[in-house]
Structure 1
Amino acid sequence: MNKKALSIIGVIAAVIILGALYNNFLAPEGVEGEKEVGLQVIVDQEDINEEFVFETDHEFLGELLEEEQETLELTYDENSTMGMMITGMLGYEVDGTSEYFHILVNGEDAEYGASSIPLMDGDEYVLEIRDFSDYDGSDAEEAEEEEKEVSLQVILDQEDIDETFAFQTNHEFLGELIEEESETLEVEYEMGDFGLDILEILGYELDKDSEYLHILVNGEDAETGLSGIEVMDGDAYQLELRSFEPMEEEEAAAMDLQEVSLKVSIDTEDLEETFTFETEQEYLSGLIEDEVEVLEVEYEMGDFGLDILEILGYELDKDSEYLHILVNGEDAETGLSGIEIKDGDEYELQRRDF
């Protein structure tokens, strides 16, 4: 499978994941009352372009579409992770392998699926057939094919090595360029949790316990690893060998140990308990796994990481409620497996209805 296809699949997967998270945890509230809205359906390949005006007291677009199913000749998958997934309209059947109904609200791309788009009086909605390849767009395609000229300087002070290379490449990320030029750079590497990790370069084998290759982009410290640095025409990259002092085991353990609190609120049971934990875990899910007995937790590993089924003796009805996560009083932006633990943080799990 080529890189472009993989990119498209990756974007689509991300949209599905984000859509599911949004629908479950962050979807907006509907607005009550009578509304008049416009709906346009566009299928260019069949010369379909029809406009409708509906009066409705429904709160979400998905509900209106269901109500007008006969008028719109609508078919849909109601079991999609994103809510309503439209499979056909006005006699046109969607080819789910290559196209989809794109939604616009007042001329702007919708941020989520039909089931979560709140109806507002006077709004104009457009449902338009588009190809999955439209995710790339012509500009992105041209950028992918465009060849870039960059330089890479390798500095190994301990070995008096300072070499600069000029490369022409159409790769998108620095890690890919280094893989392609592994013979020229005499690179040995492995793929770790954060992407490409160099073990040896220009014949020099790194002591991973005491040194690392520091990355600079145009003279500035890189903000991410090699696999996350986007290659731009004219960029100058540096890989500079640097040392760090290995810590004693006790010192490292003390530094890694973090104290956090976790509050569990189950309003329907008048249950509210706060726990204080010291942990070396990096993510909140790891702490919860460590403390399953204390928290009386039952869980499963789902598409988005750890998913709590039961806590403090309370079994959640997954069809109608969930545990909302707060970090220092703010809504979490990701699930338990994505929340990085920081010393002093206060976490809260609140039972909420969908």
Structure 2
Amino acid sequence: MKKKLLSIIIVILLVAGLFWIYNYFFGPSVVQGEKTVTLEIANQKTGDDFSRVLTTEGETLYDLLLEQQNELAIVFEKYDFGFMVVGMLNYQATNENQEYFHLAVGGEDAMTGPQGIALADGETYSFSLRSFNDFSASASAGVEKTLTLEIINEKTKENFSEVLTTKSETLHDLLMEFKEQAGVVTEASGSDSEIIGLRGYVPEKTEYFHSFINGQEAVTGPKTTPLKDGGVYRFELRSFSEEVLAPSEGELKTITFEVVHDEAGLDFSEVFETNLQTLGDWLVKQEAQLEVVMEEYDFGTVVISFFSHEADAENQEYYHLTVDGVDATSGPDQIELTDGGIYRFELRKY
């Protein structure tokens, strides 16, 4: 019995030690305490040129963005590697428009997502709407760089690693330049070619090539990943689940639901009983009664109207959500219903 207990203690200590080592060497070097930083958002398409000095005790850029999520209409999209910003100031960057929000820290391109960036006192964090096409025009006029390309595929026992010298500007251009060595498989897409496989392997329906930059998960695709001298760019074959879960039900709960629109004189408040698990599922069920209009995005559901009173995006309006009087940090799909909870939507302006 004592030997078994000792073994368990040793295992716990080893796990704790590995966790500490990972955070020490690979996690963001967080700074404790209050920090003053500058957050910038530029969108030439809408004319937005936002800049604000903020004081926060958050440790990472993701923490800061969560604090400002409702006021700045920040929309996240969740991936296996973490959260990526896809919307700001009521503008949604879409793949259809070949757009994304580019992130720079102190004027330098960020190599990780917001969760991997530690806040530093006095630093500037800049988001700017860009097009995937911004990179292609300058790809041939780059500075020579030496970097490492790695492609790992446990399914085929592939373990490719090669040091390359290039003037390409993006990871996509690098792959196309060294198409033969990387075993790039392409597929025609309009007037362009999309990379669909590496080292001659095309992922199956439930697989994909996950990319890393210097050991950190990449937050953009190859077309928008800039190359840096000495960088290590790695692809690993991974799989994901395609299982789609139906709305889950649990114990019966009593909730209060409120909608406020001062200009329209709307002040709705009513108590409901439900056994649904999330606010998103409940809103779908109450769609007719509340005359709720929602828009579906890859990241989840956004409410744009109640009782025929629509939030006017051109007038910088949105429905602000609070749960028990506290600003929500996620959309309705991610908010679990609790017995006695108060869920309030209020029309506001940015």
Which has the higher relative contact order, 1 or 2, with Cα contacts under 8 A spaced 6 or more apart?
A: 2
Q: TM-score range by the shorter chain?
A: 0.3 to 0.5
Q: Name whichever structure is richer in helix by fraction.
A: 1
- TM-score under structure 1 length normalisation: 0.43
- TM-score under structure 2 length normalisation: 0.43
Higher Rg of the two aligned structures: 1
